[in-house]
Structure 1
Amino acid sequence: MKILVVEDEERVAHFIQKGLKEEGHAVDVSYDGEDGEFLAEVNDYDLIILDLMLPKKNGIVVCRELRASGVATPVLMLTARDSVEDKVRGLDAGADDYLPKPFAFEELLARVRALLRRQSDSKSPVLKMADLELDPISRRVSRSGKAIRLTTKEYALLEYLMRNPDKVLSRTLIGEHVWDMNFDPESNVIDVYVSHLRAKIDKGFEPALLHTLRGQGYLLSDDSPPV
Protein backbone atom coordinates (compact mmCIF):
# COMPACT_ATOMS: atom_id res chain seq x y z
CA MET A 1 0.00 0.00 0.00
CA LYS A 2 1.10 3.60 -0.64
CA ILE A 3 1.09 5.82 2.46
CA LEU A 4 1.79 9.53 2.95
CA VAL A 5 3.23 10.67 6.29
CA VAL A 6 2.90 14.41 7.02
CA GLU A 7 4.95 15.08 10.16
CA ASP A 8 7.28 18.02 10.89
CA GLU A 9 9.41 16.21 13.48
CA GLU A 10 12.00 14.44 11.33
CA ARG A 11 12.81 11.87 14.00
CA VAL A 12 9.15 10.85 14.31
CA ALA A 13 8.61 10.91 10.54
CA HIS A 14 11.61 8.66 9.89
CA PHE A 15 10.60 6.32 12.71
CA ILE A 16 7.15 5.86 11.15
CA GLN A 17 8.54 5.60 7.62
CA LYS A 18 11.09 2.96 8.57
CA GLY A 19 8.53 0.82 10.40
CA LEU A 20 5.95 1.00 7.63
CA LYS A 21 8.53 0.19 4.96
CA GLU A 22 9.50 -2.90 6.92
CA GLU A 23 5.83 -3.94 6.67
CA GLY A 24 6.04 -3.66 2.88
CA HIS A 25 4.39 -0.29 2.35
CA ALA A 26 5.60 2.45 0.03
CA VAL A 27 5.96 5.59 2.16
CA ASP A 28 6.34 9.24 1.15
CA VAL A 29 7.13 11.88 3.79
CA SER A 30 6.29 15.57 3.92
CA TYR A 31 7.34 17.98 6.67
CA ASP A 32 4.76 20.78 6.37
CA GLY A 33 1.04 21.17 5.77
CA GLU A 34 1.17 22.91 2.40
CA ASP A 35 3.47 20.35 0.80
CA GLY A 36 1.57 17.48 2.41
CA GLU A 37 -1.74 18.73 1.07
CA PHE A 38 -0.24 19.12 -2.41
CA LEU A 39 1.15 15.56 -2.40
CA ALA A 40 -2.19 14.17 -1.16
CA GLU A 41 -4.04 15.91 -3.98
CA VAL A 42 -1.77 14.87 -6.86
CA ASN A 43 -0.96 11.29 -5.77
CA ASP A 44 -3.12 8.24 -5.23
CA TYR A 45 -2.46 7.22 -1.60
CA ASP A 46 -4.15 4.41 0.32
CA LEU A 47 -3.68 6.19 3.65
CA ILE A 48 -2.52 9.55 5.02
CA ILE A 49 -0.90 9.85 8.47
CA LEU A 50 -1.30 13.52 9.35
CA ASP A 51 0.16 15.42 12.31
CA LEU A 52 -2.06 18.10 13.85
CA MET A 53 0.57 20.75 14.59
CA LEU A 54 2.36 21.48 11.29
CA PRO A 55 4.18 24.52 9.91
CA LYS A 56 2.54 26.59 7.12
CA LYS A 57 -0.86 24.86 7.51
CA ASN A 58 -2.08 22.77 10.43
CA GLY A 59 -3.51 19.27 10.12
CA ILE A 60 -7.11 20.36 10.80
CA VAL A 61 -7.02 22.79 7.87
CA VAL A 62 -5.24 20.29 5.61
CA CYS A 63 -7.76 17.55 6.37
CA ARG A 64 -10.76 19.86 5.92
CA GLU A 65 -9.44 21.18 2.59
CA LEU A 66 -8.64 17.68 1.30
CA ARG A 67 -12.19 16.56 2.03
CA ALA A 68 -13.60 19.70 0.41
CA SER A 69 -11.56 18.99 -2.74
CA GLY A 70 -12.92 15.45 -2.92
CA VAL A 71 -9.94 13.50 -1.54
CA ALA A 72 -11.50 10.54 0.31
CA THR A 73 -8.25 8.82 1.35
CA PRO A 74 -8.44 7.60 4.98
CA VAL A 75 -6.67 9.95 7.41
CA LEU A 76 -5.05 8.96 10.70
CA MET A 77 -4.36 12.12 12.70
CA LEU A 78 -1.45 12.33 15.17
CA THR A 79 -1.07 14.93 17.91
CA ALA A 80 0.52 15.61 21.26
CA ARG A 81 -2.75 17.29 22.25
CA ASP A 82 -5.20 14.60 23.34
CA SER A 83 -8.10 16.55 24.83
CA VAL A 84 -11.61 15.52 23.87
CA GLU A 85 -12.05 18.89 22.14
CA ASP A 86 -8.98 18.30 19.94
CA LYS A 87 -10.16 14.81 19.00
CA VAL A 88 -13.61 16.11 18.08
CA ARG A 89 -12.07 18.87 15.94
CA GLY A 90 -9.91 16.37 14.09
CA LEU A 91 -12.73 13.92 13.45
CA ASP A 92 -15.12 16.71 12.43
CA ALA A 93 -12.52 17.94 9.93
CA GLY A 94 -12.70 14.56 8.21
CA ALA A 95 -10.09 12.39 9.97
CA ASP A 96 -10.97 8.69 10.24
CA ASP A 97 -8.97 7.98 13.39
CA TYR A 98 -6.95 9.83 16.00
CA LEU A 99 -3.76 8.73 17.79
CA PRO A 100 -2.20 10.80 20.61
CA LYS A 101 1.58 11.07 21.02
CA PRO A 102 3.64 9.44 22.32
CA PHE A 103 2.54 6.10 20.92
CA ALA A 104 3.93 2.60 20.54
CA PHE A 105 4.60 1.68 16.92
CA GLU A 106 2.54 -1.49 17.41
CA GLU A 107 -0.53 0.63 18.15
CA LEU A 108 0.10 2.86 15.13
CA LEU A 109 0.48 -0.24 12.97
CA ALA A 110 -2.76 -1.75 14.32
CA ARG A 111 -4.65 1.45 13.47
CA VAL A 112 -3.05 1.56 10.02
CA ARG A 113 -4.10 -2.05 9.39
CA ALA A 114 -7.64 -1.30 10.54
CA LEU A 115 -7.99 1.70 8.22
CA LEU A 116 -6.46 -0.15 5.27
CA ARG A 117 -8.71 -3.13 5.97
CA ARG A 118 -11.74 -0.84 5.98
CA GLN A 119 -10.54 0.61 2.68
CA SER A 120 -10.05 -2.87 1.21
CA ASP A 121 -13.50 -3.98 2.39
CA SER A 122 -15.07 -1.06 0.53
CA LYS A 123 -13.33 -2.13 -2.68
CA SER A 124 -13.31 -5.91 -2.87
CA PRO A 125 -12.63 -8.49 -0.14
CA VAL A 126 -10.61 -10.83 -2.37
CA LEU A 127 -8.68 -9.90 -5.51
CA LYS A 128 -8.81 -12.44 -8.33
CA MET A 129 -7.16 -12.98 -11.68
CA ALA A 130 -8.09 -16.30 -13.29
CA ASP A 131 -7.29 -18.88 -10.58
CA LEU A 132 -4.92 -16.54 -8.72
CA GLU A 133 -6.35 -15.09 -5.50
CA LEU A 134 -5.07 -12.50 -3.02
CA ASP A 135 -6.87 -11.73 0.23
CA PRO A 136 -5.86 -8.23 1.44
CA ILE A 137 -7.22 -8.91 4.93
CA SER A 138 -5.42 -12.18 5.69
CA ARG A 139 -2.60 -11.36 3.19
CA ARG A 140 -2.88 -14.89 1.81
CA VAL A 141 -2.12 -15.68 -1.82
CA SER A 142 -3.04 -18.85 -3.69
CA ARG A 143 -3.33 -20.21 -7.21
CA SER A 144 -5.55 -23.15 -8.10
CA GLY A 145 -6.09 -23.53 -4.36
CA LYS A 146 -2.36 -23.92 -3.67
CA ALA A 147 -0.92 -21.48 -1.10
CA ILE A 148 1.93 -19.27 -2.35
CA ARG A 149 4.45 -17.82 0.08
CA LEU A 150 5.64 -14.32 -0.83
CA THR A 151 8.08 -11.91 0.77
CA THR A 152 6.68 -8.62 2.05
CA LYS A 153 7.76 -6.71 -1.04
CA GLU A 154 6.63 -9.45 -3.46
CA TYR A 155 3.21 -9.30 -1.82
CA ALA A 156 3.06 -5.50 -2.16
CA LEU A 157 4.03 -5.76 -5.84
CA LEU A 158 1.43 -8.43 -6.55
CA GLU A 159 -1.30 -6.50 -4.73
CA TYR A 160 -0.59 -3.41 -6.82
CA LEU A 161 -0.67 -5.46 -10.02
CA MET A 162 -3.93 -7.15 -9.01
CA ARG A 163 -5.56 -3.83 -8.18
CA ASN A 164 -4.73 -2.77 -11.74
CA PRO A 165 -5.63 -5.83 -13.83
CA ASP A 166 -5.19 -5.79 -17.61
CA LYS A 167 -3.28 -2.50 -17.43
CA VAL A 168 0.27 -1.95 -18.59
CA LEU A 169 2.11 -0.49 -15.60
CA SER A 170 5.38 1.31 -16.23
CA ARG A 171 8.42 0.75 -14.05
CA THR A 172 8.07 4.35 -12.84
CA LEU A 173 4.48 3.79 -11.70
CA ILE A 174 5.38 0.55 -9.96
CA GLY A 175 8.38 2.17 -8.31
CA GLU A 176 6.30 5.06 -6.95
CA HIS A 177 3.49 2.86 -5.63
CA VAL A 178 5.39 -0.16 -4.32
CA TRP A 179 8.57 1.64 -3.23
CA ASP A 180 8.23 5.46 -2.89
CA MET A 181 8.48 8.70 -4.86
CA ASN A 182 12.29 8.69 -4.44
CA PHE A 183 12.62 5.39 -6.30
CA ASP A 184 15.49 5.35 -8.79
CA PRO A 185 14.02 4.45 -12.22
CA GLU A 186 17.48 3.35 -13.39
CA SER A 187 17.58 0.59 -10.77
CA ASN A 188 16.86 -2.99 -11.85
CA VAL A 189 15.21 -3.89 -8.53
CA ILE A 190 11.74 -4.06 -10.11
CA ASP A 191 12.94 -6.48 -12.80
CA VAL A 192 14.42 -8.69 -10.08
CA TYR A 193 11.23 -8.72 -8.01
CA VAL A 194 9.05 -9.33 -11.07
CA SER A 195 11.25 -12.29 -11.98
CA HIS A 196 10.93 -13.75 -8.46
CA LEU A 197 7.17 -13.12 -8.41
CA ARG A 198 6.66 -14.70 -11.83
CA ALA A 199 8.48 -17.83 -10.71
CA LYS A 200 6.06 -18.16 -7.79
CA ILE A 201 2.71 -17.34 -9.42
CA ASP A 202 3.25 -18.65 -12.96
CA LYS A 203 5.70 -21.56 -12.83
CA GLY A 204 3.75 -24.81 -13.03
CA PHE A 205 0.45 -23.05 -13.80
CA GLU A 206 -1.47 -22.19 -16.96
CA PRO A 207 -2.01 -19.65 -18.36
CA ALA A 208 0.90 -17.34 -17.60
CA LEU A 209 -0.43 -14.18 -15.94
CA LEU A 210 2.53 -11.86 -15.43
CA HIS A 211 3.80 -10.44 -18.71
CA THR A 212 6.70 -8.16 -19.63
CA LEU A 213 6.10 -5.65 -22.41
CA ARG A 214 9.53 -4.50 -23.49
CA GLY A 215 9.90 -0.75 -23.33
CA GLN A 216 6.46 -0.33 -21.72
CA GLY A 217 6.27 -2.14 -18.40
CA TYR A 218 4.44 -5.07 -16.88
CA LEU A 219 0.95 -6.49 -17.29
CA LEU A 220 -1.10 -8.87 -15.15
CA SER A 221 -3.66 -10.52 -17.41
CA ASP A 222 -5.06 -13.92 -18.29
CA ASP A 223 -5.17 -12.88 -21.96
CA SER A 224 -2.21 -12.98 -24.29
CA PRO A 225 -0.36 -9.64 -24.15
CA PRO A 226 -0.41 -7.36 -27.20
CA VAL A 227 2.47 -7.88 -29.60
Structure 2
Amino acid sequence: MRILVVEDDQEIQGQLQRKLGHLGYQVSVAEDGVEALFYLSEYEIALAIVDLGLPRMDGMQLIQQLRTNNHDLPVLILTARTGWKSKVEGLNSGADDYLVKPFQFEELVARVSALLRRSTGRTKSKLQIGPICLDLSSQIICVNNEEVNLTAFEFKVLEYFMMNPQKITSKFTLIDQLYGVDEETESNVIEVIIARLRKKLDPSGTLQPIETLRGRGYRFRQLAD
Protein backbone atom coordinates (compact mmCIF):
# COMPACT_ATOMS: atom_id res chain seq x y z
CA MET A 1 0.00 0.00 0.00
CA ARG A 2 1.57 3.26 -1.14
CA ILE A 3 1.38 6.58 0.71
CA LEU A 4 2.34 9.88 -0.94
CA VAL A 5 4.06 12.42 1.33
CA VAL A 6 3.90 15.96 -0.11
CA GLU A 7 6.34 17.93 2.02
CA ASP A 8 9.20 20.32 1.22
CA ASP A 9 10.86 20.10 4.64
CA GLN A 10 13.66 17.59 4.03
CA GLU A 11 13.90 16.50 7.67
CA ILE A 12 10.18 15.78 8.09
CA GLN A 13 10.10 14.23 4.63
CA GLY A 14 12.88 11.80 5.52
CA GLN A 15 11.40 10.93 8.92
CA LEU A 16 8.00 10.09 7.46
CA GLN A 17 9.49 8.07 4.62
CA ARG A 18 11.66 6.07 7.00
CA LYS A 19 9.14 5.50 9.79
CA LEU A 20 6.16 4.72 7.55
CA GLY A 21 8.40 2.41 5.55
CA HIS A 22 9.25 0.49 8.72
CA LEU A 23 5.51 -0.07 9.23
CA GLY A 24 5.27 -1.77 5.85
CA TYR A 25 3.99 1.10 3.72
CA GLN A 26 5.54 2.03 0.39
CA VAL A 27 6.23 5.77 0.53
CA SER A 28 6.64 8.18 -2.37
CA VAL A 29 7.77 11.75 -1.69
CA ALA A 30 6.92 14.94 -3.58
CA GLU A 31 8.25 18.39 -2.72
CA ASP A 32 5.41 20.40 -4.26
CA GLY A 33 1.92 20.08 -5.66
CA VAL A 34 3.02 19.78 -9.29
CA GLU A 35 5.27 16.81 -8.52
CA ALA A 36 2.49 15.28 -6.41
CA LEU A 37 0.06 15.38 -9.34
CA PHE A 38 2.62 13.51 -11.43
CA TYR A 39 2.91 10.72 -8.85
CA LEU A 40 -0.87 10.47 -8.62
CA SER A 41 -1.12 10.08 -12.38
CA GLU A 42 1.57 7.38 -12.53
CA TYR A 43 1.08 5.32 -9.36
CA GLU A 44 -1.75 3.85 -7.36
CA ILE A 45 -1.74 5.93 -4.17
CA ALA A 46 -3.82 4.85 -1.17
CA LEU A 47 -3.45 8.04 0.89
CA ALA A 48 -1.73 11.44 0.69
CA ILE A 49 -0.14 13.41 3.53
CA VAL A 50 -0.01 17.03 2.38
CA ASP A 51 1.74 20.09 3.79
CA LEU A 52 0.01 23.38 3.03
CA GLY A 53 3.03 25.67 2.53
CA LEU A 54 4.41 24.20 -0.70
CA PRO A 55 6.25 25.85 -3.61
CA ARG A 56 4.78 26.11 -7.13
CA MET A 57 1.37 24.71 -6.08
CA ASP A 58 0.43 24.94 -2.41
CA GLY A 59 -1.39 22.28 -0.44
CA MET A 60 -4.84 23.86 -0.68
CA GLN A 61 -4.58 24.15 -4.45
CA LEU A 62 -3.33 20.58 -4.71
CA ILE A 63 -6.22 19.16 -2.70
CA GLN A 64 -8.75 21.19 -4.68
CA GLN A 65 -7.18 19.93 -7.93
CA LEU A 66 -7.37 16.34 -6.67
CA ARG A 67 -11.06 16.64 -5.95
CA THR A 68 -11.70 18.42 -9.26
CA ASN A 69 -9.99 15.48 -11.00
CA ASN A 70 -12.20 13.05 -9.04
CA HIS A 71 -9.34 11.59 -6.99
CA ASP A 72 -11.16 10.22 -3.95
CA LEU A 73 -8.13 9.03 -1.97
CA PRO A 74 -8.04 10.20 1.67
CA VAL A 75 -5.91 13.28 2.36
CA LEU A 76 -4.32 14.16 5.70
CA ILE A 77 -3.12 17.75 6.01
CA LEU A 78 0.13 18.12 7.95
CA THR A 79 0.96 21.76 8.60
CA ALA A 80 2.43 24.32 10.98
CA ARG A 81 -0.61 26.56 10.49
CA THR A 82 -2.67 26.72 13.67
CA GLY A 83 -6.11 28.06 14.43
CA TRP A 84 -9.59 26.88 13.63
CA LYS A 85 -9.89 29.00 10.48
CA SER A 86 -6.96 27.23 8.79
CA LYS A 87 -8.41 23.88 9.79
CA VAL A 88 -11.83 24.75 8.38
CA GLU A 89 -10.28 26.01 5.14
CA GLY A 90 -8.27 22.81 4.80
CA LEU A 91 -11.24 20.54 5.40
CA ASN A 92 -13.44 22.61 3.09
CA SER A 93 -10.82 22.28 0.33
CA GLY A 94 -11.45 18.53 0.36
CA ALA A 95 -9.07 17.15 3.00
CA ASP A 96 -10.25 14.37 5.30
CA ASP A 97 -8.20 15.17 8.41
CA TYR A 98 -5.84 17.84 9.77
CA LEU A 99 -2.75 17.47 11.98
CA VAL A 100 -0.67 20.39 13.27
CA LYS A 101 3.13 20.39 13.55
CA PRO A 102 4.90 19.52 15.76
CA PHE A 103 3.16 16.16 16.05
CA GLN A 104 3.63 12.76 17.63
CA PHE A 105 4.32 10.08 15.04
CA GLU A 106 2.01 7.66 16.87
CA GLU A 107 -0.90 10.06 16.40
CA LEU A 108 -0.13 10.43 12.71
CA VAL A 109 -0.09 6.64 12.29
CA ALA A 110 -3.43 6.34 14.11
CA ARG A 111 -4.99 8.94 11.83
CA VAL A 112 -3.53 7.32 8.71
CA SER A 113 -4.87 3.91 9.78
CA ALA A 114 -8.33 5.33 10.47
CA LEU A 115 -8.47 7.07 7.10
CA LEU A 116 -7.38 3.94 5.25
CA ARG A 117 -9.97 1.81 7.06
CA ARG A 118 -12.66 4.33 6.22
CA SER A 119 -11.62 4.61 2.57
CA THR A 120 -11.77 0.85 2.03
CA GLY A 121 -15.10 0.55 3.81
CA ARG A 122 -13.64 -1.67 6.51
CA THR A 123 -14.35 -1.27 10.20
CA LYS A 124 -12.73 -4.57 11.14
CA SER A 125 -9.11 -5.64 11.03
CA LYS A 126 -9.84 -8.88 9.16
CA LEU A 127 -10.34 -9.60 5.46
CA GLN A 128 -12.26 -12.77 4.62
CA ILE A 129 -12.74 -14.24 1.15
CA GLY A 130 -14.12 -17.77 1.17
CA PRO A 131 -11.99 -19.93 3.48
CA ILE A 132 -9.06 -17.46 3.35
CA CYS A 133 -8.83 -15.06 6.29
CA LEU A 134 -6.20 -12.32 6.66
CA ASP A 135 -5.87 -10.50 10.00
CA LEU A 136 -4.36 -7.07 9.33
CA SER A 137 -3.51 -6.44 12.97
CA SER A 138 -1.67 -9.68 13.75
CA GLN A 139 -0.71 -10.40 10.12
CA ILE A 140 -1.91 -13.97 10.57
CA ILE A 141 -3.30 -15.78 7.52
CA CYS A 142 -5.56 -18.80 7.86
CA VAL A 143 -7.06 -21.11 5.26
CA ASN A 144 -9.91 -23.26 6.55
CA ASN A 145 -8.93 -22.11 10.07
CA GLU A 146 -5.37 -23.41 9.66
CA GLU A 147 -2.54 -20.88 9.88
CA VAL A 148 -0.36 -20.37 6.79
CA ASN A 149 3.11 -18.84 7.02
CA LEU A 150 3.91 -16.18 4.40
CA THR A 151 6.96 -14.04 3.76
CA ALA A 152 6.62 -10.24 4.00
CA PHE A 153 6.36 -9.89 0.21
CA GLU A 154 3.82 -12.71 -0.06
CA PHE A 155 1.73 -11.05 2.65
CA LYS A 156 1.77 -7.69 0.83
CA VAL A 157 0.63 -9.25 -2.44
CA LEU A 158 -2.13 -11.25 -0.71
CA GLU A 159 -3.27 -8.16 1.21
CA TYR A 160 -3.53 -6.20 -2.04
CA PHE A 161 -5.44 -9.02 -3.73
CA MET A 162 -7.90 -9.40 -0.85
CA MET A 163 -8.53 -5.67 -0.70
CA ASN A 164 -9.22 -5.69 -4.45
CA PRO A 165 -11.07 -8.94 -5.23
CA GLN A 166 -12.13 -9.47 -8.83
CA LYS A 167 -9.90 -6.58 -9.95
CA ILE A 168 -7.51 -7.29 -12.83
CA THR A 169 -4.07 -6.33 -11.51
CA SER A 170 -1.00 -5.98 -13.71
CA LYS A 171 2.45 -7.26 -12.79
CA PHE A 172 3.69 -3.65 -12.66
CA THR A 173 1.00 -2.69 -10.14
CA LEU A 174 2.08 -5.54 -7.88
CA ILE A 175 5.74 -4.57 -8.21
CA ASP A 176 4.74 -1.04 -7.20
CA GLN A 177 3.14 -2.44 -4.02
CA LEU A 178 6.38 -4.19 -3.07
CA TYR A 179 9.14 -1.77 -3.98
CA GLY A 180 9.97 1.91 -4.01
CA VAL A 181 9.79 3.87 -7.22
CA ASP A 182 13.56 3.85 -7.80
CA GLU A 183 14.30 0.30 -6.64
CA GLU A 184 15.38 -2.25 -9.21
CA THR A 185 13.52 -5.56 -9.38
CA GLU A 186 14.03 -8.85 -11.12
CA SER A 187 11.59 -9.44 -13.95
CA ASN A 188 10.28 -12.73 -12.57
CA VAL A 189 9.82 -11.70 -8.94
CA ILE A 190 6.04 -11.47 -9.19
CA GLU A 191 5.74 -14.86 -10.93
CA VAL A 192 7.75 -16.45 -8.11
CA ILE A 193 5.59 -14.84 -5.40
CA ILE A 194 2.35 -15.82 -7.15
CA ALA A 195 3.55 -19.41 -7.51
CA ARG A 196 4.41 -19.58 -3.81
CA LEU A 197 1.08 -18.06 -2.79
CA ARG A 198 -0.83 -20.59 -4.87
CA LYS A 199 1.10 -23.44 -3.30
CA LYS A 200 0.65 -22.17 0.26
CA LEU A 201 -3.00 -21.09 0.00
CA ASP A 202 -4.19 -23.94 -2.17
CA PRO A 203 -1.86 -26.96 -1.95
CA SER A 204 -4.55 -29.32 -3.24
CA GLY A 205 -5.43 -27.09 -6.21
CA THR A 206 -9.14 -27.06 -5.35
CA LEU A 207 -9.64 -23.35 -4.56
CA GLN A 208 -7.61 -21.76 -7.36
CA PRO A 209 -7.89 -18.28 -5.80
CA ILE A 210 -5.49 -16.50 -8.17
CA GLU A 211 -6.27 -16.38 -11.88
CA THR A 212 -3.69 -15.53 -14.54
CA LEU A 213 -5.08 -13.44 -17.39
CA ARG A 214 -2.58 -13.61 -20.22
CA GLY A 215 -1.34 -10.20 -21.29
CA ARG A 216 -3.32 -8.43 -18.55
CA GLY A 217 -2.16 -9.68 -15.17
CA TYR A 218 -3.84 -11.46 -12.28
CA ARG A 219 -7.23 -11.55 -10.55
CA PHE A 220 -8.12 -12.79 -7.05
CA ARG A 221 -11.39 -14.70 -7.31
CA GLN A 222 -14.40 -14.09 -5.06
CA LEU A 223 -14.46 -17.53 -3.45
CA ALA A 224 -17.56 -19.17 -1.99
CA ASP A 225 -17.74 -19.53 1.77
The normalised TM-score by structure 2 is 0.81
Given the alignment of the two structures, is residue 154 of structure 1 paired with residue 142 of structure 2, yes or no?
no
Between the aligned partners of 2:31 and 2:121, the Cα distance in structure 1 is 31
In structure 2, what is the equivalent of residue 118 of structure 1?
A: 118
In structure 1, what is the equivalent of residue 35 of structure 2?
A: 35
Q: RMSD of the alignment, in Å?
A: 3.0
Pair 1:16–1:193, CA change in 2 (3 A): farther
Deviations 1:25-55 (A, max 9, x none): 2221111111112322454321111111111
User: Could you tell me which amino acid in structure 2 is paired with residue 8 of structure 1?
Assistant: D
Pair 1:121–1:139, CA change in 2 (3 A): farther
1:175-186 matches, cutoff 5 A:
175-186=175-186
Given the alignment of the two structures, is residue 55 of structure 1 paired with residue 55 of structure 2, yes or no?
yes
Deviations 1:172-194 (A, max 9, x none): 22111333333434355444544
Between the aligned partners of 1:61 and 1:167, the Cα distance in structure 2 is 32
- Report how many residues are paired: 223
Between the aligned partners of 2:184 and 2:169, the Cα distance in structure 1 is 16
Between the aligned partners of 2:106 and 2:125, the Cα distance in structure 1 is 24
Contact persistence 1:41–1:71 (CA under 8 A): no
In structure 2, what is the equivalent of residue 90 of structure 1?
A: 90
The normalised TM-score by structure 1 is 0.81
- Give the 3-state SS of the residue equivalent to 2:134 in structure 1: strand
Between the aligned partners of 1:86 and 1:73, the Cα distance in structure 2 is 21
Contact persistence 1:117–1:137 (CA under 8 A): no
The unaligned stretches of length 5 or more in structure 1 are: none
Given the alignment of the two structures, is residue 99 of structure 1 paired with residue 126 of structure 2, yes or no?
no
Pair 1:24–1:204, CA change in 2 (3 A): farther
In structure 1, what is the equivalent of residue 19 of structure 2?
A: 19
More deviation, 11-20/68-77: 11-20
The unaligned stretches of length 5 or more in structure 2 are: none
More deviation, 15-24/46-55: 15-24
More deviation, 202-211/170-179: 202-211
Contact persistence 2:117–2:123 (CA under 8 A): no
1:205-224 matches, cutoff 5 A:
206-210=206-210, 217-221=217-221
User: Could you tell me which amino acid in structure 2 is paired with residue 25 of structure 1?
Assistant: Y
- Give the 3-state SS of the residue equivalent to 1:81 in structure 2: coil
Between the aligned partners of 2:117 and 2:106, the Cα distance in structure 1 is 16
Q: How far off is 1:162 after superposition?
A: 2.2
Pair 1:193–1:23, CA change in 2 (3 A): farther
Contact persistence 2:156–2:177 (CA under 8 A): no
Matched-pair identity in %: 39
In structure 2, what is the equivalent of residue 44 of structure 1?
A: 44
Q: How far off is 1:122 after superposition?
A: 5.7
Contact persistence 1:23–1:152 (CA under 8 A): no
- Give the 3-state SS of the residue equivalent to 1:5 in structure 2: strand
